[in-house]
Amino acid sequence: MRRIERREELKVEVSSVLSPYVEPLATIKPGETIEVETYDAFGGVIKPGQTYAQAIERGIELQPNPVTGPIYVEGAEPGDTLIVDILDIELPELGAQAVIPGFGALEGWLKRLESETKFHRIEDNRILFERKDGRTITLKADPFIGTIGVAPAFEAITSLAPGPHGGNMDCPDVKPGNRLMLPVFRPGALLSLGDVHALQGDGEICGTAVEVPAVVKLRVNVEKGYSINWPRVESSDEIMTLCSARPLEDAVRLAFLELIDWMHRDYGWDRMDAYMYLSLTARIRVAQVVDPLYTVAAKLSKSLL
């Protein structure tokens, strides 16, 4: 199995963007299984001995959400779909979480909001959350890829943003055991990824989760001649569409339009039937409400298809 290493040096035009203008880091064949080394969302700047506030004080600039890539997938052409099977995520021993001024869903809503950094130890797939009163709570890890996407057709988009190309969706369903599908806009698809979270709740409400560097194991394939508009995920028991917009209700609307389209095209549903049926059976995951666009997954159980 191939291991794709992170770039040594971070440069914003190269590492903080999903872009057709960046030289591929590696080329793989369809069906290949790879291991990808990813950066944490803070680009390694927040670490023991250096909180967010200290980094700012020391004049250290944060590279916004660096990704590893792009990875050129042979044979992928515009109009195809990239199939990414997420096989495994290897976590480190420590994760960081920070409340950053100007960021987070309750910025301006919660009184006296200041920067705050926590480091969470990770042991045996468990996360140790330390409260200010000294009590420690143990949480089960549930790691996933926060940022993963292809190059847009002609835009270069910051790795902080999600969109039809994927990107910073921060959706906990993009995790080991599940299959992610992405539209292909450029030859080679140009896959990039990073921003693994060891654990995250719906909404990623404070703006960050348990942010970790990681090693992600993936198998990448190409479905020729099948095109989609937005990312999709298939788990063992659900199908889901992942759409991003502002305001949040537009992300919901887009995700349901895509889900109805999927049910119609692949499962033979009449569109109005699907619309009324989903009104009885759908599940919505609010992935995040903190990035430049908000991300929602509209889900249907496979047993109900």
Q: Which of residues 230-289 bind a second copy (CB under 8 A)?
A: 245-249, 252-253, 256-257, 260, 268-273, 275-286, 289
Q: Rule CB under 8 A: which of 35-74 touch a second copy?
A: none
* Per-residue x/- track, 143-162, a second copy (CB under 8 A): ----------xxxxxx----
Q: Rule CB under 8 A: which of 193-212 touch a second copy?
A: 199-210
Distance separating alpha carbons of residues 221 and 75, to the nearest angstrom: 9
Q: Is 167 exposed, middle or buried (0-12, 13-18, 19+ CB in 10 A)?
A: buried
Distance separating alpha carbons of residues 213 and 94, to the nearest angstrom: 9
For 59, 108, 221, the CA distances from 181, given in Å and listed in that order, are 40, 36, 10
Under the criterion CB under 8 A, does residue 133 sit at the interface with a second copy?
yes
Under the criterion CB under 8 A, does residue 12 sit at the interface with a second copy?
yes
**By C-beta, is 34 or 286 nearer to a second copy?**
286
Under the criterion CB under 8 A, does residue 118 sit at the interface with a second copy?
yes
In angstroms, what is the minimal distance from the CB of 33 to a second copy?
30
* Triad 77, 80, 83: Cα angle to 5°: 110
Q: Rule CB under 8 A: which of 90-109 touch a second copy?
A: 97, 99, 104-109
In angstroms, what is the minimal distance from the CB of 202 to a second copy?
4
Under the criterion CB under 8 A, does residue 137 sit at the interface with a second copy?
yes
All residues at 6 or more sequence positions from 49 whose CB lies less than 8 Å from its CB, including other chains: none
**By C-beta, is 154 or 227 nearer to a second copy?**
154
CB-CB neighbours of 173 under 10 Å:
20
